[in-house]
Chains A and B, each alone.
Chain A
Amino acid sequence: MTAQGWLQIAVYLAVLTALTPLLGSYMARVYTDRRTFLSPLVAPLERLAYRALRVDPRVEQDWKDYARTAVVFSALFWLALYAILRSQGIQPFNPQGLGSGSWDLSFNTASSFVTNTNWQFYGGEATLSYFSQMAGLTVQNFVSAAVGMAVLAAVIRGFAGRGTAQLGNFWRDLIRTLLYILLPLSFLVALFLVSQGVIQTLAGYLTYTTLAGAKQTLALGPVASQVAIKQLGTNGGGFFNVNSAMPFENPSGLSGFVEALSILLIPAGLTATFGRMVGNRRQGWALYAAMAAMLVAAIGVSYGAEQHGTPAERAAGIETAAAAGTSGGNMQDKEQRFGIASSAEWATATTAASNGSVDSGHDAYTGAAGAVLMLNMLSGEVIFGGVGSGLYGMLLFVLVAVFIAGLMVGRTPEYLGKKIEAREVKLTLIGVLYPALAVLVLAAVAVATAAGKASIFNAGPQGFSETLYAYASQGNNNGSAFAGYAGTTFAELAGGLAMIGARFVPMLAALAVAGSLATKRVAPLGAGTFRTDTPTFVFLLVFVAAIVAALTFFPALLLGPISQAFTDRLF
C-alpha cells in the first residue's frame, strides 16, 4: 500500500462526508414539501406530472396503502420492461439489428432492474439495442431508485412520529424524488462524464482499420445518460459488459472519482435527511458514523489484499510490489488508469452500497478482498446500501440493536422516544433474516444440483465463491458479480426470484414497522433513556450488524474466499 493510495481514499471519504449534510438537508426539504432553489423551475413540471398521472398528491396514505401503491407501480414497470426486452427486434434505435431476448433472460433482467439490483446475465453492447437501454433500462434506473427513496421517506415519517398513521403520499414522494433530486443530478453528472470522454451518441457501431492494419469495431451508444443514474441511483447495470472498466463508460482517474463518489453520495446524504426529519441531526450522524466505520475497515482490508497480489500472479513469477512507474499489486482484470487503491475503494463502495457497478473484474480479486466484498453484501446492504433501501434496512438493524440493549439493561427498548414492542421486533427480524435465509438456501441448492453447477466457471473454491457471490449479490439487490458465473435457465430463474424477494420483503417489513411506530406516543427523554446518538450506540450498532452477518455466513465464507486467502495452492 502506498501513501498516495491512502491519500486518495482519505480525500474520497472527506468529500463524501462534506457533501452529506448539504445534500441531506436539501433532500429533507424535498420530502417535507418545502421550497428549494429549484422550485421556480421544477414546481410547474411537478404539477404537470400529477395531472398527467391523474393523482392527487394531497391524499395521505397509511403504510398499507403506501405499500400497495409501491408494489403495483413496480409490477407494472416489470411488465413494461419485460415486454420491451422480448420485442426488442421490432423497435427503433437499433442500428445493430439486435434480436429480442429469451424468456428466461428477460425474466432475470426485468426482475433485476425493477428491484434496483441490475444483475446482468447478458453483455450490454452485444445484446441490447439503444432503445432497450434508454426506454427500458435507463427508465428503471431512475424509477427503482425513486421507489426506494420514496419508501424511505415514508418510513422516516413513521419513525418521526407525527401522531398520525399517515406516512405521506407515494406519488408525491416519487415525483419529487425524480424531479428535484435524481434528474438534475444525473444531467449534471452525465455532462461531466462526457467532458471526460464517456460517449453519448445514437450513431451505430463504427468499424475502422487500426494502425497495425486490423479491423476494429467500436460499440457506441447513449452511455453517459445511463451511467450517471446507474451510479447515483445505486443501480449499477453497465451499458457495456465490463461496466465501468470500459473506457467509454469511465475514461479517466477523475471520472472514476466522480463515479465512485456518486455511488455513495445519495445513500450517505439520506442519513442526514433522516436526522433532520426526526428533529435530531445527531441521530443521522450516528447512522453515518456506523456505516462509515464499517466502510473504512472494509476498504483497508481489500486495499491491503489487492496490493499484495494473488497466488497465481506470484506463481507466474510476477513482482507485485509497488515501484517507480508502476502501482504493483493485483492488476489482473484491472485498468491502468485506476490502479490498485482506487479499484479497491470502488469495489468496496459498490458492494457496501447496493450499487454493483464495477471498474475491475471482481472474479480476479484476492480471496481476502473477495471475502470483504461478499460480507459487504451479506450484511444486508446496510453499509450505506441502496438509495432508500439501505437506510430503511439499517433502521431495522437499529431496532435489533436497541432491543438487545434493552435486554441487557432490563428496560423496554425505545428508539426516538417510541417503545419497541413485540410486533415491531417480529417484523424487524423478518426483514433482517429473510435475505440471509434466501441467500443460503439458494446458494446451497445451486452448488448441490447439476443445473446450478452448470453456471460455475472457475475450478476449486473459487467455483463455490462464484455461486455464493451470485446469490449474495442478487439476494441483497447488489448486482455486481464474480462475472465468470454464467446464465442458465436455472440461474436466471433462481436469481430473478431472489431479487424480487430481497426487494419487497424488507421493504414491506420496514413499512409495517413504520406504520406501527407512527401512532405511538413519544416518551420524553429521561435519565434512564438509552441514548441512540452516542458513540456507544454506534459501536453497538456496528457490533450487531457484524455479528449477525458473521454468525450467519462465516461457515459459507470459510468454504470459499477465506480458504483461498489462506492458501497459495492453485486449482
Chain B
Amino acid sequence: MRRDLLNSALAVLVLTVVLGLAYPLATTGVARLLFPGSSGGSLVERGGRTVGSRLIAQSFAGLPRYFQSRPSATGYAADATSFDNLGPNSAALRRALAANMRTYLRREGSYDRALTRSAVPVDAVTFSGSGVDPQISVANARIQAHRVAAARGLPLRAVLDLIVHHTEGRGLGLFGEPGVNVLALNLALDEGGRR
C-alpha cells in the first residue's frame, strides 16, 4: 500500500509533465510548423485586418447583399458555444422553428418567386449544433442567390457559379455532406461583385 502510494505520487508528477505539458506543447510546436494557418484558427483577413475565421459563422442579419448563415441559438457566440437543447416534442421548439420559417420566407420570397414552404431546406430554419456552423446547404444557397444577385445587381448565373466555386464537398467525396462556406462566399462577392 505504501509502495503504491509512493509510485502513484511519482506517477502524478511525471505523467502530468509528460502528458499534460510535453505532449500538448510538442504538438503545438509541430502543428504551428506544419500547418501555421489552420493551427491558429483558419483566420481570414481583408485589407490586412482579421475579419473572421473560415470555420466560424458570423451574423449577416439585415444585410440583403450577403448570404445568411444558419440560425444560431447563441447569437453566433464563438466563445460560449451551446446546443439549443429543445427536445423533439417541444412546443417551444415548434414556435422557434415556425418563426425561423416565417423570417426565411419573408426574406427570400420576394426575390425567389417560385419559393414555397416545402422547398425551404431544413438547415435554413433549424438551429445549428455549434451555433457557429460556417456552412449552409447547397439548396439553401441557391435560394438565397436570387436575393443576393438582386441586391448587388449581378446576373443570377454569376452568383450561382460563385456558389459552385465555394461549395465544400464531402470528405474524400464520401463522408458527411457538401456545404457552402458562407463567409468565403460573401468575401468573394465583395471582392468581385462590388458595384
Residues in A with CB closer than 8 Å to B25 are: 222
User: Could you count the A-B residue pairs with CB atoms below 8 Å apart for me: how many are there?
Assistant: 410
Cross-chain contact A68 with B98 (CB below 8 angstroms): no
Task: State in angstroms the CA–CA spacing of A361 and B81 once bound together.
Answer: 12
Q: Which residue of A lies closest to B80 (CB)?
A: A126
* Chain B residue total in the interface (Cβ 8 A): 111
The chain A residue with its CB closest to the CB of B87 is A462
A197 contact set on B, CB distance < 8 A: 38, 42, 54-55
Query: Which residue of B has the minimal Cβ distance to A316?
Result: B97
CA distance A465 to B88 in the complex (A): 11
What residues of chain A lie closer than 8 Å to B8, measured between beta carbons? 69, 72-73, 75-77
Determine the residue in chain A with the shortest Cβ distance to B98: A316
Asked if B114 is at the interface of the complex by the 8 Å CB criterion, the answer is no
B-binding segment of A248-256, A387-395, A500-508, A549-557: A248-256
Asked if A246 contacts B130 (CB within 8 A), the reply is: yes
How many Å from the CB of A173 to the closest CB on chain B? 13
> Known: A201-B32, A247-B55. Contact between A361 and B121, CB under 8 A?
no
With both beta carbons as reference points, the residue of chain B lying nearest to A567 in the complex is identified as: B89
Q: Residues of B contacting A333 with CB < 8 Å?
A: 83-85, 126-129
What is the CA–CA distance of A327 and B124 in the complex, to the nearest angstrom? 12
Known: A211-B58, A241-B82. A319 touches B137 (CB 8 A): no
Knowing A171-B7, A225-B27, A247-B133 are in contact, say whether A211-B40 is a contact too (CB < 8 A): no
> Nearest Cβ in chain A — how far from B105, in angstroms?
10
Does B165 make an interface contact (CB < 8 A)?
no
Question: In the complex where A198-B38, A335-B129 touch, is A80 in contact with B12 (Cβ < 8 A)?
Answer: yes
> Taking CB as reference atom, which chain B residue is nearest A75?
B8
Determine the distance from Cα of A106 to Cα of B173 in the docked complex, in whole angstroms. Answer: 43
Question: In the complex, what residues of B have CB within 8 A of residue A458's CB?
Answer: 85-87, 90
Chain B contacts to A: CB under 8 angstroms: 1, 4-12, 14-16, 19-21, 23-28, 30-32, 34-35, 38-43, 46, 49-56, 58-63, 66, 70, 76-95, 97-98, 100-101, 117-123, 125-140, 142, 168, 170-172, 174-177, 179, 183, 186-187, 190
Other A-B pairs, 11, CB within 8 Å; known A142-B15, A334-B126: A197-B42, A220-B41, A240-B81, A318-B125, A326-B122, A326-B138, A333-B129, A361-B85, A458-B86, A484-B87, A564-B89
9 contacts between A and B (CB under 8 A): A7-B174, A72-B1, A125-B81, A206-B43, A212-B58, A313-B94, A323-B139, A330-B126, A363-B86
